[in-house]
DNA sequence: GCAGATATTGTAATCGATTTCATTTTGAAT
DNA sequence: ATTCAAAATGAAATCGATTACAATATCTGC
């Protein structure tokens, strides 16, 4: 149906090799033949068949991004950073939605083995470190956003959870809070673990004894946060602040408080993590931690492409970026 | 690096043709050889090279989805419908973010011409109808969500803007509003045009004269809505309700009202369109129109795949789906 | 005008699968 | 045991580009 390189060659009165040279290296061809060829290309609206090209060149210039959930702006913002930087380097980015399913994540990894993609960027993968390392060992290009995978060939970028977690705590403590709830995500996630770690360290730094009954799991989603709060209220123990490991769960906290007539921030301070767009719109606006999402995507993909092109690192493999605490109405109140 | 079909064939002691048969049709092979081959496939962790396969078969089983902005949950929700239905039919879906840029949209269309994708689904494209038709004329598979492109080979699905627009107006009118502002998106968009049409028809049906000064453009984004409201306030004309052509602009309305100390819904009723997730969280909750996004994606891709497989339509080409008006706090107040 | 170097172009091999067609094997019927 | 049809397998062509290598054209300097 569409024109092939031989058609272009015939029309321009040259060999297919010449057509290829015109379209690719752009040198070693007289301008006269180049013009002839370009004219034929235009007239036939010729586009080299990607499959043939990929097969012969053993590369595709495609990068896959596997996100856990494209409905979540946290991921899509990162992806925009990836996409724009990759685009500038002539790579095409294809986004895959794993929908929080490990099986889908794994299925998308086959894109590497069947060579549909030159490389794959995993954002906050559920895959185990070992699985990811194994792929890298086999020579596939993999990069990870969200945690550090200890493997010399895997570029990684992530934020220092412990650090910002302590900042959140210092903020609450400085407002006079002592009985602070920590609403955890699902406990297997590294983010959960590290945010909890920051919570604990901050308590220790301030000589406040850790009370395990103040920690609940909320699975990183709104309903989970809501249920967790209900469990906490039922315990009938006093607390004046909630540090939720993400904004989604914090929204659940708002809901639970609304039901009980508890006023934020006067009776309860709330802080989340992620700077979900919604956090700005709720009443009161939710204090949260903002990660430089776009930049994280951009930095990582740039290094990744470097590596794919040279098959070695120019310099750094691991990037740790800082987050910023955004203090809003939900925690902007000093306890007496 | 990775195993090729000849390696598998050698290991299993058969010809490449037989390996291919085992992996593809699954018939015409004794179970003994099938087992031998499968064993070799396992041991070598063989995955057929996609480029070679695509080249030979002249198809990729890939569908591209070109979205205007993956940060917008309206698009990603549709995409989930597409993705899940396509997945069930063995198609892989790749998401491309056009970032509201016509140029990127066009660039991604080359995926069709270079045969990276078997087909492309455009969501609310900026491309002109003619451009899209031209692609279809050339034999490429294209489908469109958001409007009807009059072309026998282009499946389309969209909502009846005029219809729900009238519903919104009837709702406001029944609450006693007569001076109703219409906040339009950018005027070139078909959605803008049709929603305005519904606004006008509802006025006519109720013998209310149309006052052009009550219509402002807000470009479909929050800032646009905010600016438009400021312009309206400055006009110093009375109005008691705002019908914004999408939720984003309605958020701008909230902001403008907050600045002026205007209370929603008592002094001003607000209704949006899209059921953006945020609309539920603002105070008061925003009345809006919900489209069956997931279903729209699913229905369309199903027909699209049918068409790609049979190269003809089983039945319908155009699907018009109904939306639902969600009445929330922002418009739930009767004027006296 | 010619030799030799260099630049341009063409021929044919190649990438790794699928698939057509030919060949061999198997099995059923006699 | 033999014949013949049917089933299983293999050999080789094919998809459409790139690219190594060979061949030809052009240019330089004398």
Residues A79-106: pLDDT tens digits? 999 999 999 999 999 999 999 999 999 9
Going along chain A, which residue ranges are E strands? 62-67, 92-97, 119-123, 141-145, 156-159, 180-184, 215-217, 241-244, 269-271, 288-290, 318-321, 324-326
Q: Which of A115, A253, A285 to mutate to test the interface with B (most CBs of B within 10 A)?
A: A115
Q: Is the pLDDT of residue B26 over 90?
A: no
User: Is nucleic acid strand D under 7 Å from A329's C-beta?
Assistant: no
Give me the mean pLDDT over the B18-31 stretch: 87
Least confident of A17-31, A164-178, A282-296: A17-31
Mind listing the pLDDT tens digit for each residue in B215-239? Answer: 999 999 999 999 999 999 999 999 9
Same fold, A5-48 and A161-290+325-331: no
* Percent of chain A at pLDDT exceeding 70: 98
With CA of A6 and C1' of each nucleotide, the nearest comes out as: D16
Mean pLDDT of chain A: 95
Nearest residue on chain A to B137, alpha-carbon basis = A1
Token pair 């069930």 is found at B88
- A 121-150: CB within 7 Å of strand D: none
Residue B108 pLDDT > 70, yes or no?
yes
The answer to whether A34 CB sits below 7 Å from nucleic acid chain D is: no
A270 strand-pairing partners: A242
Q: Flag whether pLDDT at B196 surpasses 80.
A: yes
The separation, in Å, between residue B23 CA and nucleotide C17 C1' comes to 12
Per-residue confidence band for A314, with pLDDT thresholds at 50, 70 and 90: low
B5-48 has which CATH code? 1.10.260.40
Q: Where are the domains of chain A?
A: 5-48, 61-159+293-322, 161-290+325-331
pLDDT at A107: 95
Chain A residue numbers touching B84 (CB-CB < 8 A): 99
Q: Is the CB of B317 under 7 A from strand D?
A: no
Q: How far apart are CA A259 and CA A266, in angstroms?
A: 16
Residues composing chain B: 336
B213 DSSP assignment: G
- The verdict on A114 touching B (C-beta cutoff 8 Å) is yes
Q: How many CB pairs under 8 A join A and B?
A: 115
Distance in angstroms: CA B49, C1' C22: 27
Distance between B46 CA and the closest CA of chain A, angstroms: 8
Mean pLDDT of B199-213: 97
Which residues face A123 on adjacent strands?
Answer: A145
- According to CATH, the topology of domain B61-159+293-321 is Rossmann fold (3.40.50)
Helix or strand (DSSP H, E) at A199: helix A190-205
What is the average pLDDT across B133-146?
96
How many angstroms separate the CA atoms of B101 and B22, rounded?
A: 45
The A residues from 273 to 312 touching B (CB cutoff 8 Å) are 277-278, 281-283
Report the alpha-carbon distance of residue A317 to residue A320 in Å, rounded. 10
- Which CATH number is B161-291+325-331's, of 3.90.1150.10, 2.60.40.10, 3.40.50.2300, 3.40.50.261? 3.40.50.2300
Which pLDDT score is estimated for A28?
Answer: 78
CATH topology of domain A161-290+325-331: Rossmann fold (3.40.50)
Q: Does at least one atom of strand C sit less than 7 Å from the CB of A52?
A: yes
Q: Is the CB of A49 under 7 A from strand D?
A: yes
Give yes or no for residue B272 having a pLDDT over 90.
Answer: yes
B126 falls in which pLDDT band (50, 70, 90)?
very high
According to the model, what pLDDT value does residue B104 have?
A: 95
pLDDT greater than 80 at residue A312:
no
Instruction: Check pLDDT > 90 for residue A31.
Output: no
Query: Is A48 at the interface with chain B, CB within 8 A?
Result: yes
Scanning B191-230 for CB atoms below 8 A from A yields none
Mean pLDDT, range B73-86, rounded to an integer = 96
B132-156 average pLDDT score: 96
Query: In this predicted model, what pLDDT tens digit does every residue of B240-264 receive, in sequence order?
Result: 999 999 999 999 999 999 999 999 9
Best of A70, A87, A109, A264 to mutate (most B CBs within 10 Å, chain B):
A70
Asked if B13 and B36 touch (Cβ cutoff 8 Å), the reply is yes
Average pLDDT over residues B275-286: 95
**Two tokens at A162?**
């412990």
Of all residues in chain B, the one with the smallest CA distance to A111 is B50
Give the model's confidence band at B314: pLDDT under 50 very low, under 70 low, under 90 confident, else very high: low
Q: Which residue is nearest to nucleotide D16 (CA to C1')?
A: A52
**A61-159+293-322: CATH class:** alpha beta
Chain C: positions less than 7 Å from a protein CB are 7-12, 14-20
Mean pLDDT score of chain B: 95
Which pLDDT belongs to residue A130?
Answer: 97
Instruction: Among A63-67, A185-189, A305-309, B91-95, name the one with the lowest average pLDDT.
Output: A185-189
The whole-angstrom separation of Cα B5 and Cα B15 is 9
Report pLDDT for A269. Answer: 98
Nucleotide C15's nearest residue (CA vs C1') is A56
Rounded to a whole number, what is the distance in Å from the CA of A202 to chain B's nearest CA? Answer: 32
For strand D, give the nucleotides within 7 A of a protein CB: 7-12, 14-20
A241: number of Cβ within 10 Å: 27
Cross-strand partners of B64: B94, B120
């Amino acid at each position: 149906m569409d024109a092939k390189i031989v058609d272009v060659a015939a029309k321009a009165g040259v060999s297919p090799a010449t057509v290829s040279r015109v379209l690719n290296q752009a040198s070693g061809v007289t301008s006269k033949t180049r013009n002839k060829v370009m004219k034929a290309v235009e007239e036939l609206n010729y586009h080299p068949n990607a499959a043939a090209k990929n097969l012969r060149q053993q590369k595709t210039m495609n990068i896959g991004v596997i996100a856990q959930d494209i409905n979540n702006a946290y991921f899509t913002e990162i992806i925009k950073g990836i996409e724009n930087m990759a685009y500038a380097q002539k790579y095409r980015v294809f986004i895959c939605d794993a929908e929080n399913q490990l099986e889908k994540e794994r299925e998308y990894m086959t894109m590497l083995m069947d060579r549909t993609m030159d490389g794959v960027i995993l954002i906050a993968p559920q895959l185990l470190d070992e699985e990811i390392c194994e792929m890298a060992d086999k020579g596939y290009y993999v990069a990870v956003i969200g945690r550090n995978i200890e493997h010399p060939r895997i570029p990684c970028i992530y934020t220092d959870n412990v650090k910002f977690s302590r900042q959140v705590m210092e903020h609450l403590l400085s407002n006079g809070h002592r009985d602070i709830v920590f609403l955890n995500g699902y406990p297997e996630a590294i983010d959960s673990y590290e945010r909890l770690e920051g919570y604990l360290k901050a308590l220790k730094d301030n000589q406040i004894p850790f009370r395990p009954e103040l920690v609940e799991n909320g699975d990183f989603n709104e309903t989970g946060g809501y249920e967790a709060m209900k469990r906490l209220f039922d315990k009938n123990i006093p607390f004046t602040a909630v540090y939720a490991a993400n904004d989604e769960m914090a929204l659940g906290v708002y809901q639970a408080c609304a039901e009980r007539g508890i006023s934020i921030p006067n009776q309860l301070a709330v802080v989340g993590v992620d700077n979900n767009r919604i956090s700005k719109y709720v009443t009161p606006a939710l204090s949260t931690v903002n990660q430089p999402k776009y930049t994280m995507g951009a930095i990582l993909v740039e290094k990744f492409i470097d590596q794919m092109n040279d098959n070695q690192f120019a310099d750094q493999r691991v990037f740790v970026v800082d987050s910023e605490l955004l203090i809003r109405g939900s925690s902007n109140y000093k306890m007496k």
